[in-house]
Structure 1
Amino acid sequence: SRFKELAARLGLSISVKEIDEDEVYSKKPYSGTPYIISVIGTDKPGIVHRVSELLFSKGINITDLNTKVVPGEETPVYTMILEVDVPHDIDMDALEEEFSLLEREMAIDVDIKEIEVLEL
């Protein structure tokens, strides 16, 4: 398949799962608590990988992700905004501490804010 060829050429792991229509429309938008995570730092390889790896290790689902590189005074600045679904049993203080370690290691700034969900 084309995915296998692309994965082999780029050294990627690609997983595709078919879901049925009932599954798509029967689920609530969030099973946990929604948060916005913003990441800003000098553009360098590995930012998306390390942030998504940390979220995956905690069972946190990324529901939306946007990135942009903007010119900086000396070097380009990488910005990433993630919308995530955090399971209710996650210790947010511990998660923020792990992100603090990642901030120091990668010279990035991470901000985590809970999204207020309004029921209509």
Structure 2
Amino acid sequence: MSDSKLKKLVKLGSLCLLGVVAMEALIGFIAKQDSVLPGVEEFVRSAPEVYAAVGDIKSVSLEKSVYYAGVPGKENPYRKYSFSVSGTRSQALVIIQAEKQGEEYENRIVLIE
């Protein structure tokens, strides 16, 4: 491999790595702005269904969040969160839907896998 090709490959790899770091920082920033997230995470930590699936919870990590604005008069807005949960017995993917009911959000488990 020639020096110019190697330099281009190193430059491309560096740019990709920088892009990944920037995306992680952006995701962290967005998660910190989410006022609903702390209540949903507490819901995950205290849900009997999650305890039954994984045992005593060691860690809860947000993997993904999605916001749906809803359709006025037909569907309420909601947020859907995917968490990776580790417990004393196993690990699970837990998906929670937080649907806006007036000024509050009602949390519901969609999936424990």
Into which bin does the TM-score normalised by the smaller protein fall?
A: 0.3 to 0.5
TM-score, length basis structure 2: 0.34
Greater Rg, structure 1 or structure 2? 2
Higher RCO structure, 1 or 2 (CA under 8 Å, sep 6+): 1
User: Larger helix proportion, structure 1 or 2?
Assistant: 2
TM-score, length basis structure 1: 0.33
